[in-house]
Amino acid sequence: MSISGTVINLNAFGATVRLVNGEIAHAAAQDVEAHRRQYERSLSTRSSLAFVRGGESRRTTVALVPQISDERLEEHITSYLKSTEESEGELPAHERHFLRKKRRAAQWEAT
């Protein structure tokens, strides 16, 4: 489960984050270094970031929610959305549905 928060301080040991519920949390230096641009942007613009709470301890720890970036998946999604926009003329609904399914199946098999 993710929780939103704003970076209020950056230092050599990590970052201090104010969560939406008012709680103060600590982000480890390794996470800050891996995502420095996002942490700095949140600090300068006071914009919210999505965090995941760390393990149970005396001090609340957080880390940025992992971002999934897969260009191949994005291309598949784009081609799927384009295929659903195409019109098949004046065919009956059940035939249009069958033709769309057949085209999508051929696209996925080709990759």
- Distance (Å, whole) CA 97 – CA 111: 22
Do 6 and 17 touch, CB atoms closer than 8 A? yes
Among 108, 22, 35, 25, residue whose Cα is nearest residue 72: 108
pLDDT of residue 9: 96
pLDDT of residue 64: 92
pLDDT tens track for 80-96: 877 776 655 567 777 87
pLDDT of residue 3: 92
**Spans of the chain below 70 pLDDT:** 85-90
pLDDT of residue 89: 58
